């Protein structure tokens, strides 16, 4: 479950993820940082802070190797491209589709770029068989993603507004979350990522301004991720898509 706040004005504390092992933290953070190094929210201050965070993550898992040092030094020397939140998400989806031939992106209005423009040009780059619209049925599109992921594929489902996710509640909580458990670990839908923007639109009222992510944080079998800025959005979205759990 991957929620994006549309108007980010303060750090969000509603982040629930499984604590990874140190080796996993080392590998996943290094990979995500390398791919998102061209995404920058602020200036050199943020860049320096990101490098320091990387050093702490690496040192927490093991003694820095020369390869690790080179990666950090290379990161600090690189030039960065400024991105806002939607450009960072678009870049992450682009990378996911490029690097995984089994990945597909689907949902309400994603084929023409989405109402928040997060999937702009992706249909033109990857074709209508990998980036396509679904009927206006959240229950249906999530169920389709569960079936696709159950075959070992990568499904990236988009619910246009997080408020619309409630019709899919049964599929998410009773099917996706329990798939591995009920099959005795023979099958899973770890390749499923559901992305949904949430928070105040400013004029959306009761169907476009809710924050439903807390409902899902209480469900074993689900991971809920809420990034607070562009660089986190890109790195965490890629990590969510690649996470096999």
| Tokens found for residue 245 | 């759990």
Q: Label the pairing between strands 39-40 and 2-5.
A: unpaired
Q: Mapping DSSP to helix (H, G, I), strand (E, B) and coil, where does residue 60 land?
A: helix
Cα–Cα nearest to 57, from 34, 91, 23: 23
Q: Which helix (H) or strand (E) holds 88?
A: helix 85-99
Cα–Cα nearest to 189, from 201, 199, 176, 198: 176
Question: Would residue 61 be called left, alpha or beta, if left means φ above 0 and alpha means ψ between -120 and 50 degrees?
Answer: alpha
Residue 138 designated active-site = yes
The catalytic residue among 35, 47, 108, 138 is 138
Residue 203 designated active-site = no
| Tokens found for residue 114 | 């989405």
Residue 59 dihedral angles phi and psi, to the nearest 5°: -70, -25
Please tell me what DSSP assigns to residue 102. T
The catalytic residue among 35, 208, 213, 232 is 208
Supply the residues annotated as catalytic: 138, 208
């Amino acid at each position: 479950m991957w929620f994006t706040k549309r108007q980010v004005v303060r750090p969000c504390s509603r982040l629930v993820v499984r604590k990874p092992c140190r080796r996993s933290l080392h590998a996943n953070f290094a990979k995500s940082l390398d791919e998102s190094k061209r995404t920058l929210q602020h200036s050199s201050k943020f860049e320096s802070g990101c490098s320091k965070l990387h050093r702490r993550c690496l040192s927490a898992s093991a003694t820095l190797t020369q390869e690790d040092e080179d990666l950090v030094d290379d990161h600090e020397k690189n030039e960065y491209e400024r991105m806002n939140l939607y450009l960072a998400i678009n870049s992450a989806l682009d990378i996911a589709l490029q690097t995984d031939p089994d990945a597909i992106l689907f949902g309400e209005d994603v084929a023409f770029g989405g109402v928040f423009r997060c999937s702009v040009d992706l249909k033109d780059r990857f074709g209508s068989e990998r980036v396509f619209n679904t009927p206006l049925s959240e229950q249906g599109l999530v169920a389709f993603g569960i079936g696709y992921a159950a075959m070992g594929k990568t499904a990236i489902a988009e619910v246009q507004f997080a408020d619309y996710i409630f019709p899919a509640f049964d599929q998410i909580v009773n099917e996706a979350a329990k798939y591995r458990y009920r099959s005795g670990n023979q099958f899973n839908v770890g390749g499923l990522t559901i992305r949904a923007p949430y928070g105040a639109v400013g004029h959306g009222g009761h169907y476009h301004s809710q924050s439903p992510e807390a409902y899902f944080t209480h469900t074993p079998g689900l991971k809920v991720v809420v990034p607070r800025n562009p660089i986190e959005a890109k790195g965490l979205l890629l990590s969510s898509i690649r996470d096999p759990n």
